[in-house]
A and B are shown apart, each in its own frame.
Chain A
């Protein structure tokens, strides 16, 4: 960066082929450039005013190994040079036994590379560090190696496609970068037939070597795999499980992409076969270790293969230039054991997706996704879940989002059956080749016209509401760090939609109020309104609770976080209850008319279990907020002290998104202070929120008898409530008099609800 030149240099105008325009004159800048060149020293540059941090950061220092990916630091300058130097021979050895052993090492190292890729490194420096894959044609005389490489390439393509179509990989964008890699070629399933052919030959060889000697010649005129008869069976088996694993893995990926989740059942079969082969792979290690290293002379050791020998044909420096326009990243290939563990976890995650019942009730879909995320699935599994949930703008590719919303809004049966069905018939009539969106839009439009109720405005709002829901489902499938940021941002959109919808609804309703009875359409919108509010609070809850998972709150902030969590939970419980009541109300009214009976309604109005569960959380959140407040008020601990700002600023920063979206209305830092400044331990012991939580949790058990997840959650709630209740008593009794008492908060029973731990130091 050169010092700015204040002296203006006037240069003589010269003749030019391009005429000067208004206010512009051609000038020869050569003398200026020459002068600058003479003045500039190392590390200086001439720049415009728009030279930004991004521009500065984008500059690379050539030949600095930390920055210069293109630096020649490998053994070979190019793939061709590596091949000419014999880095990746075909066959891998003239000795047939060694050839087979080395192929197995290549297969194992590729598996380790693949897992490393899935875990967030570039494809170029992992899977495509394999020279055989970089020049696939060279392997064609070697059927075994060739078929394996082909199916690896096809699998990479399948995985890249599902991840890139999801378009939610954001921070994981390194994953799909495949620029300059030979990934093209077969898009079909051609690679499967070549794997099948090789597998069949291997089977016959295995069969032949196991047959009694007398029969051998008769059974097979087949040449054995290699020259050592003692190793024939073991090597055939080791190859077979590796090939079969690849085959079933590729099959299952294809099955999972079948439209409308139609391939899920078959995918599960392939998953169980994959898991079986994975176990065979693991077991083959003993055999391969015993023969591997003794077979080669002076083999280098490696962690990435079952045999423990260094594989031939890999160079992770060759591709470093194509990896990304960024400084080189340090790559540590996963060990073979870790790769097997990774695939085991991936297969288990995919199996959970495949066994999902494709619920139509949104509440259950959201619950499933949230539970799935608790397993901390990696990018690939999350991408497949997203691909299943949203296809062609529909849930599972078959359920229009509008229907999902209607169902989620607990619409009375009468409405569902009558109006929507009718409009569906119309929808089919208008269905042309246009995009799904326009069809849904027309669907809504026609529906509104049909019901003579609603204006064009409302259908617009509904259209974007559906888009919001699709986005929400997508966001919920992303990594939790990004997910939380996105959820914070969409909160406002949900709030805006609610306000718009309510506004339009009121307007419409006023116009329609002359009619004797609320018509089906206004009823529909009223239900949808309730659902939108409930859903918004659900997002707010997820936003706040993910903060715990991501470790975003410090213990000094727990008090305000639990307090806000409590406020949001109260609202969520209220909205959920209202929605459920509205749903049952309409149903009951209809039923009553038919039966004309007066049933005792007290039993029907008991609080639904879903709401009671929220009440449990409310008690826990309020209990923790108040306990923490009392600790601050009385024991003077966990107080946020900072030289530059106050707790108010921390509050505003943490809850900025919620405050901006008025979630809920009239809630501010002041309300938090009002609720917590008076908290004292002696009162909390008498009115113990944790005891309430415990009581409700015990009562609820019978309602969730057939739901093991919910029962487990209730047991956690009981533990947290019980322990905090005891801690509260202990602190109340001796906290003030015992200065050696150390109080901390741990998340040993639940990701969001802490347990107070009291220790004497």
Chain B
């Protein structure tokens, strides 16, 4: 699925103060049409209503919306669950409408989701982003995601994707990490700059 489309260049920028943006957690069916409109309009992949509901019904706590004066300008939709031997968070959709990009709204949305994943004991967070989506790649790079893999012609439009991954510092979840931490005297891994 798609990552963020947060590139700097925009035709028309909205005038607003960062403090005017209101972030809310998914609050029920009335939010669903807002999310769907944003995603359908901004992302290349088509999703059925079942896909949206799959996410927001099962993980409403991982879905956030950004409002400016009552208008929905951005959203993030995620999930989490077991993946092989890890408990993994997954960012499925992240959208901020063009006039509002480049002002940290996407970063705030995704940071909120990642924090919930971390508190829910996820080991890692993953997502896919188009290799050409420089805005999204820079955003996730700043958050500590690495480009783990490249997926050849992943999207319907024929563009490759990067699978991005963020590993949380939690040695007891990874036996290999734990072992390594012990033998290297690398005990509790500290987090840098997490507010």
Contacts and interface: CB of A to CB of B under 8 A. Distances in A.
Contact of A648 (B146, B185, B186): B186
B151 interface: yes
A644 B149 contact: no
Interface in A21-42: 42
Looking at B48, B114, B158, B190, which has the most chain A CB atoms within 10 Å of its CB?
Answer: B48
A670 interface: yes
Contacts of B51: 53, 56-57, 59
B186 A485 contact: no
Interface string B143-162: 11011111111101110101
Contacts of B34: none
B63 to A, nearest CB: 15
B16 interface: no
A645 B165 CA distance: 11
B192 A646 contact: yes
B156 A329 contact: yes
A759 to B, nearest CB: 21
Given A644-B166, A648-B169, A650-B144, A56 B54 contact: yes
Given A43-B53, A53-B79, A67 B48 contact: yes
Interface string A460-495: 000000000000000000010110110000000000
B147 A57 contact: no
Given A1-B57, A668-B183, A653 B165 contact: yes
B150 A550 contact: yes
A171 B153 CA distance: 7
Given A45-B50, A645-B169, A329 B158 contact: yes
Interface stretch (A344-352, A551-559, A580-588): A551-559
Interface in B108-158: 111, 114, 118, 131, 141-144, 146-154, 156-158
B147 A553 contact: yes
Given A59-B48, A481-B160, A653-B148, A645 B167 contact: yes
Interface residues of A, number: 53
A757 interface: no
Contacts of B144: 640, 642-645, 649-650
B168 A645 contact: yes
Interface size class of B (residues with CB under 8 A): 35 or more
A556 to B, nearest CB: 8
B24 interface: no
A524 B158 CA distance: 49
Contacts of B189: 645-646, 648-649
B85 to A, nearest CB: 12
A642 to B, nearest CB: 3
A172 interface: yes
Contacts of B48: 56-57, 59-61, 67
A670 B185 contact: yes
Interface in A236-294: none
Looking at B118, B154, B167, B185, which has the most chain A CB atoms within 10 Å of its CB?
Answer: B167
B168 A120 contact: no
Contact of A649 (B156, B157, B168, B183): B168
Contacts of A326: 156
Interface string A1-26: 10000000000000000000000000
A647 to B, nearest CB: 9
Contact of A646 (B148, B152, B169): B169
A481 B150 contact: yes
Nearest to A549: B150
Contact of A330 (B152, B156, B195): B156
A642 B164 CA distance: 14
B19 interface: no
A714 to B, nearest CB: 30
Interface string A643-672: 111101110111000011000000011100
6 contacts: A53-B79, A481-B150, A644-B144, A645-B166, A650-B146, A652-B180
Given A171-B152, A553-B147, A669-B180, 4 more contacts: A61-B48, A121-B158, A643-B191, A645-B167
Interface of A: 1, 42-43, 45, 51, 53, 55-57, 59-61, 64, 66-67, 120-121, 171-172, 326-330, 479, 481-482, 484-485, 550-554, 557, 640-646, 648-650, 652-654, 659-660, 668-670
Pairs of residues from A and B, 9 with the lowest C-beta to C-beta distance, nearest first: A642-B144, A66-B46, A670-B184, A56-B54, A43-B49, A649-B167, A481-B150, A481-B152, A171-B152
